[in-house]
Chains A and B, each alone.
Chain A
């Protein structure tokens, strides 16, 4: 049996974080969460190997953009899908994030069904990419 995928949630709002944790755990994922980008980076550098990172943009200490920037310099996390969580109004934040190499974004407030579906699709895609890379061409 495949192990449950581990998802890292980076979100400073405890209520949003708790809700996401609940939803993802209920869906059968393993969940790790961090209140800001710095804690998230510390967790990753300490050996955490998430299958996907869901990160808020505006956060104290290290914001979402800075976290993504740090990760893109670490080959170990090169192929980990990075999805931004963002308030709808902050279109420019999202654009900046996408330009920096984020894979997707989920806008807040999010509809659980849609959000879970896009996480599922994104994970499946990443899995396919990984196996394609492993296979000799």
Chain B
């Protein structure tokens, strides 16, 4: 063998492509290592002198006879893909090129196409999956080139854009949508290309004479080299959501109107109660003065009942009006420097005089530092404290203690009112500041259920806050915190 032939042979031996030669009778005279590997042989010995037919299944032999060899004879060569059989019996796709050699032998080049075919099959499966998902998504998806021509629209997209899938492909927004919508879409596309990031937008299309509102996210699609080659868009139909949001807003507005009407009604009615109450109180006073003295116990009892009812009604009216005023307007709140020490002492003295006559074994104690002042509306602070102390006394048993403790901490004035009464059930504590709420364990103790609402509002009007801890059967502690250095009252809007 000369050098040139040696080089050629070396190249063929090292080739990543299978190569074999047959004689004119079709028996193998040479097979390179790659060809041997493709078909599962280890050595040329296994194939030399054997006919080429040993490498193919019956159906391939038939095709060879009918199609391949006639073409090979006519053209001198043939190229195609044909099923072949490995030594272990596995059939695979062989990429085969045949050429007729001088003297009638055949040279064949071959490659195993099975991995490529598998890849194509896998690709086809992925594509089918992709389409199955994308077409059944309740979102519209569209992909277009950077020049704006649509290259993909999913089924939902076709529905939303009213475009038949194929008719959108290759077209630009300006050919598919009214000018103003197209301009909006193109503007977003430009923004995406400029920023290189996703852009959110909203599109309103007219469908069946109704607005179709789409929320859109448009984003760049980047190729392997990092270049933006396409623009993707995902569109969500939010028409229903928008409609519901509008409905909810309308309902909320109507509710607000109703609350305002209710508030005005309550104020009006309560106000109107004042005249008859005044008349009732006056008449009751005179009647009792004239008839009550020297009458029997029954008559005295009737007068007491009448007076109690008048007082209860009066208190209810006062509280409703006070709460109404606190909730919706703070214009009547007037801050002056009040002496907390004097105020609390006065209140406690009054309670000691009046209520301890009814609950002789209840102890009401009070610890207030001297000369404590606060910028506040005295009427409101008084109302808050009276409500809390009155509650503490009302719901306390005999031989227990109600303690009032006043202190300053940091920039706050803290007023604590503790009792050892029946407490508030844990599961009801979250609603105890709601108007007209009364805990389930109040029994027959009278009350309007407005006191704590008033306390809370009164404290909030001073930019203060209220905290409490309560355990059923063990007692309740309320703490009111008032800022010492913030004399600005809350406005009614900031109270919400």
Residue ranges of A at the interface with B (Cβ–Cβ < 8 Å) = 13, 15-16, 18-20, 22-23, 26, 87-89, 91-92, 95, 108-113
In the complex, whether B493 has a CB less than 8 A from a CB of chain A is no
The 0/1 profile, CB within 8 Å of A marked 1, for residues 277-295 of chain B is 1110111011001000000
Q: Nearest residue in B to A85 (C-beta to C-beta)? A: B278
A108 touches B278 (CB 8 A): yes
Cβ contact of B286, chosen from A13, A22, A95, cutoff 8 A: A22
Q: Nearest residue in A to B284 (C-beta to C-beta)? A: A112
Shortest C-beta distance, A14 to chain B (Å), equals: 10
B286 touches A15 (CB 8 A): no
A13 — which chain B residues lie within 8 A by C-beta? Answer: 275
* 29 pairs, CB–CB < 8 Å, chain A vs chain B: A13-B275, A15-B276, A15-B278, A15-B279, A16-B275, A18-B279, A19-B278, A19-B279, A22-B283, A23-B282, A23-B285, A26-B289, A87-B274, A88-B318, A88-B321, A89-B325, A89-B332, A92-B331, A92-B332, A108-B274, A108-B275, A108-B278, A109-B277, A109-B314, A109-B317, A111-B281, A112-B281, A112-B285, A112-B286
Shortest C-beta distance, B293 to chain A (Å), equals: 13
B275 — which chain A residues lie within 8 A by C-beta? Answer: 13, 15-16, 108-109
Q: A22-B282, A109-B274 are in contact. List 11 more A-B contacts (CB 8 A).
A: A15-B279, A20-B282, A23-B285, A88-B318, A91-B334, A95-B334, A108-B275, A108-B278, A110-B278, A110-B281, A112-B282
B331 — which chain A residues lie within 8 A by C-beta? Answer: 92
In the complex, whether B271 has a CB less than 8 A from a CB of chain A is yes
B281 touches A16 (CB 8 A): no
Shortest C-beta distance, B376 to chain A (Å), equals: 15
B317 — which chain A residues lie within 8 A by C-beta? Answer: 109
A16 — which chain B residues lie within 8 A by C-beta? Answer: 275, 278-279
Q: Nearest residue in A to B377 (C-beta to C-beta)? A: A91
A92 — which chain B residues lie within 8 A by C-beta? Answer: 331-332
The A interface, classified by DSSP as helix, strand, loop or mixed, is: helix
A89 touches B285 (CB 8 A): no
A108 — which chain B residues lie within 8 A by C-beta? Answer: 274-275, 278
Shortest C-beta distance, B282 to chain A (Å), equals: 4
Q: Within the assembled complex, what's the spacing in Å between the Cα atoms of A26 and B282?
A: 11
Shortest C-beta distance, A17 to chain B (Å), equals: 10
A111 — which chain B residues lie within 8 A by C-beta? Answer: 281
Q: Nearest residue in B to A25 (C-beta to C-beta)? A: B286
Size category of the B interface is 20 to 34
- Highest count of chain B CB atoms <10 Å: which of A16, A89, A113: A89
Q: How many A-B residue pairs have CB under 8 A?
A: 54
Shortest C-beta distance, B343 to chain A (Å), equals: 18
The 0/1 profile, CB within 8 Å of A marked 1, for residues 25-57 of chain B is 000000000000000000000000000000000
Which residues 247-285 in B have Cβ within 8 Å of A in the complex?
271, 274-279, 281-283, 285
Q: Nearest residue in B to A19 (C-beta to C-beta)? A: B282
Supposing A19-B283, A22-B283, A87-B271 touch, asked if A109 and B325 sit within 8 A by C-beta, the answer is no
Q: Nearest residue in B to A92 (C-beta to C-beta)? A: B332
- Highest count of chain A CB atoms <10 Å: which of B275, B314, B325, B331: B275
B321 — which chain A residues lie within 8 A by C-beta? Answer: 88-89
A91 touches B279 (CB 8 A): no
Q: Within the assembled complex, what's the spacing in Å between the Cα atoms of A16 and B282?
A: 9
B277 — which chain A residues lie within 8 A by C-beta? Answer: 109
B332 — which chain A residues lie within 8 A by C-beta? Answer: 89, 91-92
Shortest C-beta distance, A132 to chain B (Å), equals: 31
Q: Within the assembled complex, what's the spacing in Å between the Cα atoms of A87 and B274?
A: 8
Q: Nearest residue in A to B334 (C-beta to C-beta)? A: A91
B325 — which chain A residues lie within 8 A by C-beta? Answer: 89
Q: Nearest residue in B to A95 (C-beta to C-beta)? A: B334
Shortest C-beta distance, B328 to chain A (Å), equals: 12
Q: Nearest residue in A to B329 (C-beta to C-beta)? A: A89
A87 — which chain B residues lie within 8 A by C-beta? Answer: 271, 274
B318 — which chain A residues lie within 8 A by C-beta? Answer: 88
Q: Within the assembled complex, what's the spacing in Å between the Cα atoms of A87 and B268?
A: 12
Question: Nearest 4 pairs between A and B by C-beta?
Answer: A19-B282, A112-B285, A109-B278, A109-B277
Shortest C-beta distance, B171 to chain A (Å), equals: 71
Q: Within the assembled complex, what's the spacing in Å between the Cα atoms of A22 and B279?
A: 10
Shortest C-beta distance, A28 to chain B (Å), equals: 12
A112 — which chain B residues lie within 8 A by C-beta? Answer: 281-282, 285-286
Q: Nearest residue in B to A110 (C-beta to C-beta)? A: B278
Shortest C-beta distance, A110 to chain B (Å), equals: 6
